[in-house]
Structure 1
C-alpha cells in the first residue's frame, strides 16, 4: 500500500488532516504533525523538502504560529497539505516524513492562553436543575435562555489525552456534616465536551461579532472537563466553579480544522426566547455541528451524546465572551459545556447518568456512581464528511490515580 494511501472509509483520510504535535522515539524534539490514517506526517520536514513558503509555520514545537497566521493562511496550508498527501508526484518526497502513529509520542498541541467553559446544553442544564433544585418551578435559571453561561477555568491544568488525572482533594460538606471536612473527592465525574481553539487574536475593546467566528476560531477538539462534584457543590455559591474544576481538563492531541467540518454544520435547536442582537443568529450561517460523541468507562460505552442538540453555538459563545471588550489571544480555548441529549443513553456526565449517584451504572468492572481509582475514561467522536465519509475527532482519554 502506498505510504499516503489510507483504507477507504478511514475517518482520518485526506478529507480530515487534523493537526497535532509529536516527538519521535528517543528524541525530545517536538514538531507539528498531521494525522493521515494510522500515520503522522512531519509537516515541517515535508514543507522544507517541498520548499513550501509555510515551512516556518509548521516547523515549531507548537501550533501557535500557524494559529496566529489567520484564516487565509489556514486555508492555504490545508490546500497544500491535501495536495502533498494526494498527488502521486509528491509521494517520493513525502514518504520519508510519514511515521507510524504507534511509534511517536503526542503532546499538547498548542500553548493554552486562557480557558473558558460554557454550559450550552439545555438537556444538561435541565437535568442539573432537576437534580439540585427539585422543587423549583423551572429547572433552568432565569438567565439561561438569554445568554451562554460560562466560567473562567485554569489554563495551566489543561493536559493532553493520555495524561493521568490524580484524584483531587478539597473541602466538602454533605447535608449530614455539621462542619466542612477535607479529603479526596468521593464524587469524581467527567463532562463530555467539545473545545474550540482560537487562532487569530482580537484587540481589547473590540467585540467579535457572530459573523467573524471563522476568522478567529481555527478548529475544535474533544474535551473532558473533570469535575469533583462534592467539592463543587460546597464551593460554587456565590461565584461558581473553582477548585472542583481546576485540577485537570483533558483535550485531544489532534485539532480538527473547521474547514474539515463543513459537511457537519447544522442549524441549532429552535430558539424559544428572543435574543439580543449580538447573539441573534437567525440570519447568520448555521454554526451548530453534527458531532457524534461516545463516552466509555474502562472500555465500556456508557453514553453517546449528540452535539447537534446544543442550544448555544460556538459562534454565540465567542460573541458573548468578547461582547464586553475582552480580547482574544492565540491559543485561547473554550469548552462547549457538557453535551447531553434528550435520551437516557445520551447524557454526558455521571452526575446525570446515575442521577447524582442514586442509580449506579452496572459496568463489567462493577457498579459505578462516580469514578473510582484506576478507572479510564475515553471520549471518541466522528462527524459527517464529504461524499459519505466520516471525519474522526482525536480521542480523549485519562486514567484516575489515587489522591497524593
Structure 2
C-alpha cells in the first residue's frame, strides 16, 4: 500500500516538473517572439488597411495655414477670404429663351380642328329650320372641320374661307362678310376644338411623352409637365430642358420648382425634355459611410453634406483633415494666389502651360477649431465634388496593436493553460 502511494507521488511530481518546464519554455519563447512581432508589425504599418491618404500626405511639412502648390494640385486652407471669393455654380435660365408674359395669339394653324356656328336674325333664312311643333331655329352648328394644308375651311354658301394664321375673331368677320348678301343679318362664332398646330412636345426618360395643345389662356412649363403626368424620378435627380429655335437650355427640375421666375410660357413647336441627371458628390474616407450622393439643390453646404454621410467617424477620422476636391479655373486661381502659391513666369514656360484650363484644387478644413465648423456651414458643395476625410494619426498604431493582440493571444493562452495544470497537480 505504501509502495503504491509513493509510486503515485513520483508520477505526480514528474508530471508537475514537465508542466513547469513546458510553461517556462512557452514564456521564454514568448519573450523572444514578442519583440520580433512588435518590430515587424511597426515596420509594416504602410501595409495595413487604410481609408486613403493621411492629412500629412496632402499638407506636407510646411505651414498648414499657407496656400501651396503641391505635386500638381493647389492646396487651399479655407478661411473667410476663401469664402468671400467662392462663387456659385453657373445657373442656367429659361428667361433667355422664353417670357413670363402671355405670348401673342398665333392664330389658327394648319391641322387645327375648327368649330363654326352660324346665326341669322330671323326664321326663314339659309340656316333656319322648323321642328315638328312648328317652332323655328335661326342657327346651325357646322360639323367640326380640320384646317386643310391650303389653310382654309368650307362654309356653306360662302365657299372656301382662309383661316390659317388668323385669329378666331378675324375668321368670324370673314364668314359674316361672305354671307352678308345671302343670309338674314348673319353672325358667326368660330372656336378651335383641337389646337393641333399649337401643340408642344414633352418627352424624356423621366416622364411619359406626349403632345399637349396650348390653350388660349397659355401654358407654362410646370403646367405642361403636370398635364403629361409629372416626372417619374425624384426632383433632385431630374433635369428639364427647353428647346426653342435651335437653342436649348437645361436646368435641374428642383430649380424650376423653387424659382417661379423660371416657370415661363411655352410656344408652339417647343420641345421640353425631362431626363434623370442627378447632381452628385462623392464622400470617401473616414466618414459615416462612403457613397455617391445627390445634392439637395444648388445651396447645399459642406456641413449638410457631412450630415448626409453620417458625419465624421469618431473611431477613425482626423478632424483636422477634412478636404473637398474640385477643379477650378486655373486663370482665376493664378490671379488670386499669385505671390503665395504661384510665381510669375514667362508665357512660354511649361509651368504656365500647366495652369491653363481647369486645375485640381483641394480645400482643407480644420474641424477641430470652432471656425472650421462655421466655414463648413458657408462653404458650398458643387456637383462633381469629392469630400474626403483623412484617418487620424493614431489609427495605424491602433491597427498594429490589434494585430499584435491577435498574434500574441495564442501564446499567452498556452502559458495560462500550463499554469492551470500545474496548480491542479499541486
When normalised by structure 1's length, the TM-score is 0.21
Which structure's residues are more often helix, by fraction? 2
Pair member with larger Rg: 2
When normalised by structure 2's length, the TM-score is 0.20
